[in-house]
Structure 1
Amino acid sequence: MTTRVAAIDCGTNSIRLLVADLPDADAGPRAPLADVSRRMEIVRLGQGVDRTGRLSDEAIERTRVALASYAEEIGKLGVERVRMCATSASRDASNAADFRGMVQQTLGVAPEVVTGDEEARLSFTGAVRGLPADAREPYLVVDIGGGSTEFVVGTRSGGVQAAISMDIGCVRMTERHLHGDPPSQAEITAAQADIADAVDRALAAVPGREAATLVGLAGSVTTVVAIAQDLQEYDPERIHHARVPYDQVADVTADLLAKTREQRLAIPVMHPGRADVIGAGALVLRVIMERAGMDAVVASEHDILDGIAWSLL
């Protein structure tokens, strides 16, 4: 027996849908979920939030259009349970009630504006459940989003040991520091210092330097890994669980930060909605690896979206 569920993750940069069939609760901890549909739209819900403290009317409308399409698909696929989690932008905005009202009207389900800790735990569950058996524990799972980055340390059997969320997402860092096209060295240096300060505080709160394996989640990480692999098209199967050494991450980061937006758009695996913020996302990943002393990152296509789905079991 399976249960068909829909998970929606509404972040600062993108909104994603997973419709999946969950195995019976007695199937065991290694039983996978079965994808029915995965979708992603770049809606930039958090555009300008770091500066204004508000969600713009245009950003809310972009999100509504994407959500209406998701609601239609959910209805057609016979979903039994739906959960939508909204993350950093919704926590920060003074007009978050407008956003919640829109979601309730469009989807028929209220969004859960999860705390940073809950966001981190969902990400860890989604990432760790499918890791290869030879991935050494404990894990440091980092989920680099648009507005924030979650740091979670734990093991497969013991679950989460410690978690923290820091405001160093790719959209936030781009809007705060990387204004040039390409950004100047002074802008990059300022962003790097800001990120390093946040990462050091995170690693003081969670024992990330004691972890044996770094697992990286979300679009910034998977895009960097796709570029490092020189893929000519985005291939989730090749990216999922790929291991990329620090030197390659550093090279890709430097190259992205040296390119103009138009040059980044020409990269075969680049999503058009990510081209203006990928430099900051790559920089966050590189600094985490440096400060945590990690010689490689394992990418995962399974993340908070899968964790939301599993929470409906």
Structure 2
Amino acid sequence: MADHPPPDIHKKAGKKRGGKSGKVADFRYKRSNQPNSTSGQKRGASAHAGPPRKFTGNPPPRKGEAYAALDLGTNNCRLLIARPSGKDFTVIDAFSRVVKLGEDLASSGRLSDEAMDRAMGALSICADKLRRRNVRLARSVATEACRRASNGADFIERVKRETGIVLDIISAEEEARLAVLGCHILLEQGHGPAVIFDIGGGSTELVLIEPGGKIPHIIDWQSVPWGVVSLTDTIARKGSGPEARLDRYARMRAAVSESFAPFAQRIAEASTSDDIRLLGTSGTVTTLASLHLKLPHYDRKAVDGLIVPSHSMRTISTRLSAMSPEERSELPCIGHDRADLVVAGCAILESILDLWPAERLGVADRGIREGILRSLMAAERQSERSLKALAQQRSGKTG
């Protein structure tokens, strides 16, 4: 047994707060209510299944119009603005800032004033970008920190009041679906089963997908309330030397592995396949991939889509876990902000490699935001096809 339960073990998990997705102004679509859960699993779901969106007579897209996706996580605030380009899209603006919204949430159960102020600063910048860009449709989501915090709903109202951004607190299931939709195209080619994971600041999502098909079919999934922030804040330090650091790392591994155990049991048979594949999206995997490549500074083009030997990621994780925060902060691509959090990410990653022992790990510097953009564009294309078909049907009746 791990010596620490998940940080929200005594809370009623996944209470839905807020129910709208929106943009800075002029809402273009509505979401239906959706069940929420901070931990659980779903069988037989499709990665492109999700809350239906009703488009009520929108005019067709005009040249230059853009789509936007905003993801407010436990550690980061990220915005992506893009224009359609065939069946894909071209990014025209992006923003990312470490806001540490979930700082001390594991112990207090609340978002602190300082953390909310940091997030508001980043969201104000996002609101300005959304106003200046010709955004047609946008979706803004919040994840584990706002799901878990007792004052999460109050913070969402403050964001709406001060910036005009309407944050949708999505379920863990929706978070997993969007992450898969955003990065699955980077999955290594093969015919065996695959696991896609997303290590966040406050939670980690694991998804088992069925091989084949343009849109992944989700066979099973699990979300646990361990992310780099929640795990760092929960597993206490006991000393400062190398042995104490390794002991803390072992306790992190034990806590995460215990939470993963139900999922590990359910996918045990699939994990013995000869051709299992693994793809990860998170700051943890991109940082470790950068260290694997010995990059002097982070380079998204070099990292996004990289395939790394799993044993290399384990070796780097073990080395980092024994180093002091000061030593880690001096390494390229880590720095001060990630010096402490990266150890928790390593512990989560190694626990994932234990339950899904793929020889190689795919690395994705993309995820929820890209999944949101693909969902928005696909939904609008479907709406346009439906309207066109309806028009043709009416034309036939009147002709």
Provide TM-score, normalisation by structure 1.
Answer: 0.91
Residue from 253, 266, 291 that aligns with 2:330: 266
5+ residue gaps in structure 1?
none
Q: In 2 relative to 1, CA 176–234 (structure 1 residues): closer, same or farther, beyond 3 Å?
A: same
The question of 1:17 aligning with 2:46 is answered no
Q: Percent identity?
A: 29
Secondary structure at the counterpart of residue 54 of structure 1: coil
Q: How far apart, in 2, do the equivalents of 1:7 and 1:299 lie?
A: 21
CA distance in 2, matches of 1:122, 1:70: 20
- How far off its partner does 1:161 sit? 2.3
Residue number in structure 2 paired with 1:139: 194
Residues 1:88 and 2:144 are matched in the alignment: yes
The structural deviation recorded for 1:199 is 2.1
Alpha-carbon deviations, 1:102-131, whole Å to 9, x = none?
A: 221243232111111010000000011x32
Which whole-Å deviations, capped at 9, do the CAs of 1:49-107 have from their partners, x for residues lacking one?
A: 11111000110000000010111112112111121111111111001122101221243
User: How far apart, CA to CA, are the structure 1 residues paired with 2:81 and 2:335?
Assistant: 22
Q: What is the identity, as a one-letter code, of the residue corresponding to 2:298?
A: Y
Matches within 5 A, 1:181-220: 181=240, 184-205=245-266, 209=271, 212-220=276-284
Change (3 A) 1:264 1:22: same
Matches within 5 A, 1:100-179: 100-128=156-184, 130-131=185-186, 134-155=189-210, 157=213, 158-177=216-235, 179=237
The answer as to whether partners of 2:143 and 2:171 remain within 8 angstroms in 1 is yes
- Tell me which amino acid in the other structure corresponds to 1:188: Y
- Cα distance in 2 for partners of 1:296, 1:310 equals 27
In structure 2, C-alpha distance between the alignment counterparts of 1:50 and 1:206, rounded to whole Å: 29
Offset from partner CA, 1:123-155 (integer Å, 9 cap, x none):
000011x32673555321100001110011224
Q: Any conservation in 2 of the 1:220–1:281 contact (CA below 8 Å)?
A: yes
Q: What letter is aligned with 1:259? A: M
Q: Distance in 2 between matches of 1:285 and 1:213?
A: 15
Question: What secondary structure is seen at the aligned counterpart in 1 of 2:376?
Answer: coil
Q: Once the two structures are superposed, what CA deviation does each residue of 1:187-246 show, in whole Å capped at 9, x if it has no partner?
A: 222111111112222233557625721000011111011111111110001101111112
1:54 aligned partner: 110
Letter paired with 2:201: G
Q: Does 1:253 align with 2:311?
A: no
Where does the alignment leave 5 or more consecutive residues of structure 2 unmatched? 1-60, 378-399
The amino acid that maps onto 1:237 is K
Distance 2:142 2:334 in 1: 24
Letter in 2 for 1:199: F
Please tell me whether residue 280 in structure 1 is matched to residue 344 in structure 2: yes
Contact conserved, 2:187 with 2:279, CA < 8 A, in 1?
A: no
- Taking the aligned partners of 1:34 and 1:205, their CA distance within structure 2 comes to 39
Deviation at 1:181, TM superposition (A): 4.9
Q: Which moved more, 1:269-278 or 1:108-117?
A: 269-278
The answer to whether the 8 Å contact 1:289/1:296 transfers is no
Partner residue in 1 for 2:367: 303
1:289 to 329, 341, 353: 353
| C-alpha contact (below 8 Å) 1:83/1:109 kept by paired residues | no
* In 1, Cα distance between equivalents of 2:66 and 2:191: 32
- Which residue of structure 1 lines up, in the alignment, with residue 68 of structure 2? 6
Matched-pair contact (CA < 8 Å) for 1:166–1:202:
no
* Count of aligned pairs between the two proteins: 306
Change (3 A) 1:205 1:65: farther
Query: How big is the shift at 1:186?
Result: 2.3
Alpha-carbon spacing, 1:301–1:218, altered in 2? closer, same or farther (3 Å)? same
RMSD of aligned alpha carbons: 2.0
Q: Please give the residue correspondences for 1:222-233 in structure 2 after superposition, counting only pairs within 5 Å.
A: 222-233=286-297
Change in Cα spacing, 1:51 to 1:250, as seen in structure 2 (3 Å) is same
For the residue of structure 2 that corresponds to 1:36, the secondary structure is strand
Q: Tell me, in whole angstroms, the C-alpha distance in 2 between the residues paired with 1:141 and 1:132.
A: 8
